[in-house]
Amino acid sequence: MSELVSVVLFLAAIAIYSTKAGRNKFWFIVVLLLLVLFVVLNATLYASNYFTGDGINDAVLYTLTNSLTGAGISKYVVPAIGLIIVLFSLFCLLSWLLRRRARPHNFGWSLLAFICAVGSVQTTPAFRQVASLIASHTQQANSDFENFYKVPKNRIDHPKLNVVYIYGESLERTYFDEQAFPALAPELSREKEQSIDFSNTEQLPGTDYTIAGMVSSQCGIPLFAPFDGNASASLSSFYPQNVCLGDILKNSGYENWFIQGADLRFAGKDVFLTSHGFSPANMYGSQELKSRVADPTYRNNWGYYDDTVMDEVFEKYEELSRQQKRFALFTLTVDTHHPDGFISRSCQRKSYSLDGKPNQSFSAVACSQEHVARLIERIKASPWFKNTVIVVTSDHLAMNNTAHQYLVKQPRRDLYMIIRGDQPQAEVIETKRSTMDNGATLLDILGGDNAIGLGRSNLSSISLSTQFDDLKSKVLSWKPDIIQLWNFPKKMDSFTIDTAKNSFSFSGTTFKLPILFRVNDKHVEPMPEGEYSAPLRYQLADFVSTDKFVWVDRCFKMARLWKPELALSTDYCLAMGQMGGQPTVTRIDKPQWKSKVQFPASTTSDAQYQRNLAQIRVLDNDIRYQADRFLLTVPGAPNSVKSFSGISRPESWGRWSNANLAPEVKIEYVDPLPQKFDLVITARAFGPNVHRPIPVRVGDQQQLLTLGEEFSTTTLHFDNPNGSHNLIIVPPEPQLSNIGNITGQDPRKLGIGMVDIKIVPQG
């Protein structure tokens, strides 16, 4: 009903303003913005529901404010472009509708249109979801959270069993319903029938996406991130106050391992794991598996297929068992990821039909479960099984995939089953529980405590799901208490920059570099930079003139604005000040650099603010600097260069030529090149271009450049009688490659890697 009311008010606002209100710039802008807000809110709700099936929730908030590195986004590119086109078209249509009648302005009708527009926004379900999400982060008085939150003993006194812990991506228990989905998962069903099967595992708020499912199962709490900009994305620690399963295992002598096919950085999994008992050297994702797998090219949009990953897990299991180490080996599948999953080449059943037609998501489940079951069978057949406990669990219920319409008709529960090698046991435990109980239940089996956070062992304690009639509502009421566990600081006085560790620390909390903070007396807002978020200088452009900031980044990104002598430095620099003033810029000249927050006393002005904005917003390729050569390690080009093409983004060593951008490297100079000059280039060749003649042209003259695999400096002589402005380099055989690429982006077509290019006049 509220949706209908919202739409009626939206249309009424358009009709009233366009036919009755008349022309007035202020009221036009206000009403248009409210109508656009209505459209954007509903588009956000639609897009969020496409992924979550539950609208705008904490999963959306966390994912958008955290690392998207490694996300398999290619399937969503076309829908995203389509949505952007539709939104832009609607904006143009609304603007036209509101302005199509030219008549004297009427305040009363404008006010009525404004009231209708406000009402349309307030009554839309999207607004209510966002408002509820924001309100849920507000601290409530008289919370009883501490009465139920338990800190476990941080070690197991006499550990005996090794652990293999398998997270099945979206592999909910519903898929194992033989009545609804016959013969969908026969191999893993057989293993489930020989396990301790916890059949009534509910999903709670803050546990309904992969990283949240991992946090809830290992720390016994939902994942509710700080609602301070992108705070959770920039922290280099994850729930630092909590004692989680990984911490306890590490303290008990276990060597913790984690292996998955997707990128470890996506959604901050790497930060979570390293914060709680896992060494980076013992964590394998798509980047780390490249050099280990038999076929590095056999992968899907998210990473390596489950057959590849399960083989790696078993090899690691054998290796650690032979070394007689105490270990906990965690893994996460990916082939059943929404929207439709992936079919590996080695599974027996590559298709599963329902209602007479194949369904890709069900097919992916049928395929992936074969690989999980095979891993279990191989472990069972090994001589080390008696010393092993195997856990198989879903990370969360399936999101909006192509099987979703069938799943929602069933009573849905998460999968959680335990297979003990020391005490084989087949039992179904029907007690109501949640995924927060998973870690505590395993810990109890291993001889440790029987509670972690809000989680309880279902073998020797009572789950909070049983104690509360509505644990979902209770968990949401505890959200502010859970957010407090991040120990997020509110004030910055002094800080430490560690260039070796690439970190910025203050008030006991550490952030990854580069980092930008908006700072006032009562609040510190971190604004990190990521592959899918705006560069920090663009985020700084959103500050008002009086906003104070602390910014640590490579010198060339800030010094060209406020300290030109450091404009070409690739060292770290610190900038402090206000956008409407003249900030200070200091080069970090020590591995560990300590300082206090000291903002310059300069006054702010609108003129200075506008100058700073203009400089900050210059596109990378449009930046120009004073230098006698083209330095490929920094953005832009020297003042002598008018434009360039076919060159990829700067990296720490220089830049690649990229034939995806242009078939050749072309540098156009402002003035004609000298009639006689030497071209001095420091570069290397990639792949088949090594030791191949590379044509270099200036006007009608061509020289051949030959490069090896290592960087070298070569001098070529040119005559330029016709005064050509252009230098053209044509790598003969560019190759598609992901080397040095941003994970999740399409491969680049690399030819040569360039460090610098210098024109030296002769004669």
Q: Of the residues 484, 518, 551, which one is the last residue of a structural domain?
A: 484
Question: Does one domain contain both 185 and 276?
Answer: yes
Q: Is the pLDDT of residue 734 over 80?
A: yes
**Low-confidence winner among 132-146, 324-338, 727-741 (lowest mean pLDDT):** 132-146
Task: Give which of 470, 435, 441 is closest to 458, Cα–Cα.
Answer: 441
Q: Could you tell me if residue 141 is inside a domain? A: no
Question: Does one domain contain both 547 and 632?
Answer: no
Q: Is the pLDDT of residue 733 over 80?
A: yes
Distance CA 646, CA 656 (A): 9
Q: What is the pLDDT of residue 744?
A: 53
In the predicted model, what is the mean pLDDT of residues 250-257?
97
| CA dihedral angle for residue 207, residue 213, residue 215, residue 216, rounded to 10 degrees | 60
| CA dihedral angle for residue 645, residue 650, residue 651, residue 652, rounded to 10 degrees | 130
Question: Does one domain contain both 245 and 388?
Answer: yes
Q: How remote is the C-alpha of 651 from its chain's centroid?
A: 21
Backbone angles phi, psi at 469, to 5 degrees: -65, -35
Q: What is the pLDDT of residue 189?
A: 96
Q: Could you tell me if residue 489 is inside a domain? A: no
Task: Give which of 604, 567, 614 is closest to 583, Cα–Cα.
Answer: 604
Q: What is the pLDDT of residue 231?
A: 43
Distance CA 724, CA 698 (A): 7
Question: Does one domain contain both 86 and 160?
Answer: no
Q: What is the pTM of this model?
A: 0.66
Residue of 259 and 34 predicted with greater confidence? 259
**Low-confidence winner among 390-399, 440-449, 639-648, 736-745 (lowest mean pLDDT):** 736-745
Question: Does one domain contain both 700 and 588?
Answer: no
**Low-confidence winner among 100-104, 124-128, 418-422, 431-435 (lowest mean pLDDT):** 100-104
Question: Does one domain contain both 346 and 406?
Answer: yes
Q: What is the pLDDT of residue 61?
A: 56
Q: Is the pLDDT of residue 530 over 50?
A: yes
Distance CA 652, CA 511 (A): 21
Q: Is the pLDDT of residue 476 over 50?
A: yes
Q: Of the residues 571, 586, 618, which one is the last residue of a structural domain?
A: 618
Question: Does one domain contain both 478 and 500?
Answer: no
Q: Could you tell me if residue 421 is inside a domain? A: yes
Distance CA 64, CA 534 (A): 12
Question: Does one domain contain both 51 and 77?
Answer: yes
- DSSP strands (E only) in 138-184: 162-168
Q: What is the pLDDT of residue 67?
A: 47
Q: Residues of 194-228 as b/e, b for ≥16 C-beta within 10 angstroms?
A: ebbbbbbbbbbbbbbbbbbbbbbbbbbbbbbbbbb
- Rounded alpha-carbon distances, angstroms, from residue 448 to 153, 216, 243, 444, 551: 8, 18, 13, 5, 45
Question: Does one domain contain both 698 and 666?
Answer: yes
Q: Could you tell me if residue 60 is inside a domain? A: yes
Question: Does one domain contain both 533 and 554?
Answer: yes
Q: Is the pLDDT of residue 151 over 80?
A: yes
Residue-wise pLDDT tens digits, 643-669 = 999 999 999 999 999 999 999 999 999
In the predicted model, what is the mean pLDDT of residues 374-379?
98
Residue-wise pLDDT tens digits, 188-207 = 999 999 999 999 999 999 99
What CATH number did the domain enclosing 174 receive? Answer: 3.40.720.10
Tell me the residue type at 528.
Answer: P
Q: In this structure, are residues 528 and 515 in contact, taking their beta carbons and an 8 Å threshold?
A: yes
Question: Does one domain contain both 382 and 447?
Answer: yes
Computed over every residue of the chain, the mean pLDDT equals 88
Q: Provide the domain limits for residue 706.
A: 624-761
Q: Could you tell me if residue 718 is inside a domain? A: yes
Q: Is the pLDDT of residue 576 over 50?
A: yes
Q: What is the pLDDT of residue 531?
A: 53
Residue-wise pLDDT tens digits, 215-253 = 999 999 999 876 443 344 455 678 888 999 999 999 999
Residue-wise pLDDT tens digits, 392-430 = 999 999 988 889 999 999 999 999 999 999 999 999 999
Give 589: exposed, middle or buried? Use CB within 10 Å, 0-12, 13-18, 19+: exposed
What CATH number did the domain enclosing 676 receive? Answer: 2.60.120.430
In the predicted model, what is the mean pLDDT of residues 426-453?
97
CA atoms within 13 A on the CB side of 395: 24
Distance CA 669, CA 171 (A): 58
Q: What is the pLDDT of residue 739?
A: 86
Residue 294, token pair as written in the block: 């038999």
For a pLDDT cut of 70, what percent of the chain falls above it?
Answer: 90
Q: Could you tell me if residue 568 is inside a domain? A: yes
Number of domains forming the structure of the chain? 4
Q: In this structure, are residues 556 and 528 in contact, taking their beta carbons and an 8 Å threshold?
A: no
Q: Could you tell me if residue 140 is inside a domain? A: no
Q: Of the residues 432, 462, 484, which one is the last residue of a structural domain?
A: 484
Q: What is the pLDDT of residue 236?
A: 62
**Low-confidence winner among 7-11, 370-374, 427-431, 643-647 (lowest mean pLDDT):** 7-11
